[in-house]
Amino acid sequence: MTKTILVFLIFFTSIGFSQYKIKGILVPKVKTDWVILYKIEGTKQVFVSNTILKTDSLKIGNKKEAASIFEITLPSIAKSGAYRATYGLEGTGSVDFFFHKEDVTFRLNPQYPDETITFLKSEENKLYKEYLTKISAAQEKLDSIQISAFQNQAKNNKEVYKKALEKVLKTQQKYEELAKNKYIFPLVKATLRTNIPEIETSPDAYMEAIKATYFDKINFSNETLKNTSFITDRVADFVFYLNFSDDEKTQQNLYKEGIKKVLEKIKSQNYQKEIIEFLITQFEATKNLEIIDYLFEYQYNKLPEKLQDATFKKEKLALFTTEIGRIAPDFSWTEKGKKMQLATLNDASHYVLVFWSTSCSHCLREIPQLHTFLKDKKNIKVIAFALEKEASVWESFSKTNLFGFHNVLGLKKWENEVARIYQIVATPTYFILDKNKKIIAKPDEIEDVKEFFRKK
C-alpha cells in the first residue's frame, strides 16, 4: 500500500509541476540583450515573460558564428496559443510561433525571422511550417498559370490550370488530415483561399471572385484563430490591398465598403470592438482622418455603450484634434478689455496661429520676422499665443513689437490647457487656418509660413 501511494505521489508531482521550455537561437547574434515573450490575445499582445539573450558560438557549416540564445520556462498551466518573441525595439525584431503543451525550440536569422525560422522541437510548429511551404508552392504555381492567361488569352491553359488546382486541393486535404486533433487545425483549415474552378480571362472578374470568397474559410468565432495574428492579417490585406484604387475619393469609398464587409462577418460585438480598434490604429499611421471618423461615427459609436472604451476613444480623438483638415480647437482671451474667441474671429481670410514664448530664442528671432512679413497683408491675421510662466516680459514685448496681432497670454507655459489640447511640445509652433478656422497647413518654421503665402 505504501509503495502504491509513493508511486501515485511521484506521478502526481511530475504532472503537477511539469514545465515547458521555449528556446530561441538567433544567428547571427543581435545587439540587444533582452527578449520579451508575449501571448497574442485577440488584436493585442499580453506580456508573459522576459529574459536575457546569452551569446554563444555555434558551428554553421564549416565555420563558427556568434549566436544569441534565450530560454524561457513556461509553467504547466500555460495557455495554448500563439506567442510572440520580441528581440528588437525597432524594425524587424519579432517572431510568432504556437505553444501547445510541448517544448518549442527554433533557429532563425534575426533580420529575416519569418523566412528563415526552422523549428528544431515542436511537432505542431514543424507541421504548420511544412504545410505553409507546400501549400504556398502549390498556390503560387496555380496563380502563375492564371496570370499567364491574362497576359496571353489566346493560349489554352484550361487543363494545366485544372491539374494545378487539383494539386492545391490534394495538398490541402493531406495537411488537414495530418493536422486533425492538433492545435493548428483551425489555421490549416482557414489558410487556403477559395480558388475559382476554371481559369479566368478577365482580371477584374478574377479579383471580384477573390474578394467575394476571401473570408469563406475563416470562422471569426473560432478562439484559436482569434487569438493569433491570422485574422487581423487577413482583415488588413482585405481592407488595404484587395480594395485598391489610384483615385483618392474612390479609395476612401473602397475602404469604407471593405470595413463594412469585414464587420458583417463578425457576429460577436466584443470582437467587432477589437477589430474596429485595430483598424483605427492602422489608419492612424497614415492619418486618414476621414476613415477614422467613419470608424468612430458609423461603427464604434453604434456598439453598446458598455463595450466602448472611453479612454481609447478620448486618446485617439485627441491625437487628431490638430491635424490638417480639422477645425482648430476653440479658445478665448481678453483683448483691450473685450472678450475674443477664435471660432468667431471674422477679420481675415486666413489666420496664422503661432504658439511662442519670450523665453525662446528662436521665437524672439522668428516672431518679429512674421510681423514684418505680414504687416501689409490685410487678409491675414496672426493669433500669437504666448506660453509664459509670468506676464511682465510678454506684456512689454507684445506692446512694443507685435502691433496688429491678436496677442494671447497663456500662463503655466507647457501646462497651459490650450497648449495641451494643441499638443505643443516646442516653440514656435505654427498653424495656418482658413476663414472657417480649419487647419490647412502646419509649417515647421517661419520660412515655410512665408512660402505658403507666397504661393497664394
Same domain, 234 and 370: no
pLDDT for 400 equals 80
Last residue of a domain, one of 63, 95, 121: 121
pLDDT for 398 equals 86
pTM: 0.82
Same domain, 194 and 309: yes
Question: Which CATH number do you get for residue 116?
Answer: 2.60.40
Using CA atoms of 447, 450, 455, 456 in order, give the dihedral in degrees to the nearest 10.
Answer: 150
Count of residues making up the chain: 456
DSSP codes joined into one string, 225-269: HHTSSHHHHHHHHIIIIIS--SSHHHHHHHHHHHHHHHHHH---H
Last residue of a domain, one of 284, 319, 354: 319
Same domain, 113 and 141: no
Last residue of a domain, one of 74, 105, 121: 121
DSSP codes joined into one string, 68-117: EEEEEEE-TTPPPEEEEEE--SSSS-EEEEEESSS-EEEEE-TTSHHHH-
Residue 274 lies inside a defined structural domain of this protein: yes
Residue 2 lies inside a defined structural domain of this protein: no
Which class for 207: exposed (0-12), middle (13-18), buried (19 or more C-beta within 10 A)? middle
Residue 326 lies inside a defined structural domain of this protein: no
Same domain, 273 and 369: no
Same domain, 146 and 260: yes
Which class for 337: exposed (0-12), middle (13-18), buried (19 or more C-beta within 10 A)? exposed
Residue 152 lies inside a defined structural domain of this protein: yes
Residue 1 lies inside a defined structural domain of this protein: no
Residue 441 lies inside a defined structural domain of this protein: yes
Same domain, 262 and 238: yes
Same domain, 287 and 236: yes
Per-residue pLDDT of the chain (456 residues; tens, 9 = 90+): 555 544 444 444 444 457 999 999 999 999 889 999 999 999 999 999 999 999 998 877 788 889 999 999 999 999 999 999 999 766 569 999 999 999 999 999 999 999 999 999 999 999 999 999 999 999 999 999 999 999 887 677 899 999 999 999 999 999 999 999 999 999 999 999 999 999 998 999 999 999 999 999 999 999 999 999 999 999 999 999 998 999 999 999 999 999 999 999 999 999 999 999 999 999 999 999 999 999 999 999 999 999 999 999 999 988 899 999 999 999 999 998 999 999 999 999 999 999 999 999 999 999 999 999 998 899 999 999 999 999 999 998 988 888 899 999 999 999 999 999 999 999 999 999 999 999 999 999 999 999 999 987
Burial 308-335 (b: 16+ CB within 10 A, else e): beeeeeeebeeebebeeeeebeebebee
Same domain, 211 and 300: yes
Same domain, 365 and 293: no
Same domain, 74 and 111: yes
Same domain, 306 and 337: no
Residue 47 lies inside a defined structural domain of this protein: yes
Same domain, 160 and 285: yes
Report strand pairing: 34-41 vs 81-86.
antiparallel
pLDDT digits (tens, 9 = 90+) for 43-58: 999 999 999 999 998 8
Residue 325 lies inside a defined structural domain of this protein: no
Domain count, the chain: 3
Domain range enclosing 380: 332-454
Phi and psi, residue 424, nearest 5°: -80, 120
Question: Which CATH number do you get for residue 440?
Answer: 3.40.30.10
